[in-house]
Amino acid sequence: MNILFVSSGNSKNGISPLIKNQGESLIKLHHNVTFFTIKGKGFKGYFKSIFELRRFLKKQKFDIIHAHYSLSGMVASLAGAKPIVISLMGSDVKASPVLKYIIRIFSLLFWKQIIVKSRDMKEDSGLNKAYIIPNGVDFNKFKPIKRSDAINETGWDPNKKHILFAANPDRPEKNFKLAKEAFNLIKNDAIQLQKLIDIPNKKMPYYFNAADVILLTSLWEGSPNVIKEAIACNCKIIAVDVGDIRELIGNTKGCHITNFDASQIANKLLLSLNSEQKTNGRDTIRHLDSVTIANKLTNIYKSTIS
């Protein structure tokens, strides 16, 4: 099957690792996947990409156009791409009521199939016919690693314990303010708060395995891939109850779900830091292996074509 992925290419490393990894999982199933990335931000960048994609589609034929994020789906629609499968992410239905309304219009007029990442997203979007398919995890890449090797790769102090804030703190929706407030309540110089800023995806397994606990305090999420990748490394996780967090870690010993209260988060962090035992999280998310997810996507593509 010839598949075209349409997505933003404006991140520091170009295409999002999340989208690239999904494409590569489909390639392993012997599909042909081509990536079209939208360059340039804002209305001007996306508007220009409509005509670039239209010219691109005249040169090549594809069985399926799979757009990632709503704005990419809109570009594909206006460029005349058919048939379109759209993957919506958390920001598509959580950030703006206006965008949510526009999404519903495009879903009626252009998009053949819609994928959301969690039950929470489906309910919030009002797209009753959407498929719930989280992004998969590469279990060959994200796996337990010896802590000393991971610490050496990150350059962190091996004599201290480390809390890893699972996002770039400059993104307001990731709510670093709450994480910092909780950390400040701990008041222990032997514990450090680390952040994920411009870390290449291939090095992420080292950061997960070097951390003593992963912390997520986001205002909203769809199905946070960073958490699934950390679970595959058997990490302990403290997270607020957003997206599909409860489904991911609710039954995993060593992981804790909290509300948006700094004191409660601090207490759970200390509880995890005082436990040396890793989790068995890897076994609980086997159903999210990237190959399993790629097979589900393939079935959606086939049903769309037929």
The CATH architecture one would assign to domain 147-287 is 3-Layer(aba) Sandwich (3.40)
Dist CA 198 CA 11 (whole Å)? 10
Quick one: pLDDT at residue 297? Answer: 98
Dist CA 266 CA 173 (whole Å)? 20
User: CA separation (Å) from 128 to 89, 119, 258?
Assistant: 16, 10, 29
Count of alpha carbons within 13 angstroms of residue 232, beta-carbon side: 23
**Strand pairing category for 131-132 and 161-165:** unpaired
* CA proximity to 11, closest of 65, 56, 68: 68
The alpha carbon of 298 is separated from its chain's Cα centroid by a whole number of angstroms, namely 20
147-287 shares the fold of 2-136+289-305: yes
Q: Tell me the β-bridge partners of 239.
A: 216, 257
Quick one: pLDDT at residue 112? Answer: 97
Residues 6+ apart with CB under 8 A from 67: 5, 6, 7, 73, 75, 76, 81, 84, 85, 86, 87
Tens-digit pLDDT string for the chain (306 aa) = 999 999 997 766 678 888 999 999 999 999 999 999 998 777 788 899 999 999 999 999 999 999 999 999 999 999 999 999 999 988 888 778 888 899 999 999 999 999 999 998 999 888 999 999 999 999 999 999 999 999 999 999 999 999 999 899 999 999 999 999 999 999 999 999 999 988 888 999 999 999 999 999 999 998 999 999 999 999 999 999 999 999 999 989 889 999 999 999 999 999 999 987 789 999 999 999 999 999 999 999 999 998
Dist CA 67 CA 223 (whole Å)? 17
Q: In what order do the strands lie in the sheet with 131-132?
A: 32-38, 2-8, 64-68, 84-87, 111-116, 131-132
- Give the single-character DSSP code of 169: T
The ranges assigned to domains in the chain are 2-136+289-305, 147-287
**Amino acid of residue 71:** L
Quick one: pLDDT at residue 124? Answer: 86
Quick one: pLDDT at residue 13? Answer: 65
Q: What CATH superfamily classification does 2-136+289-305 receive?
A: Glycogen Phosphorylase B; (3.40.50.2000)
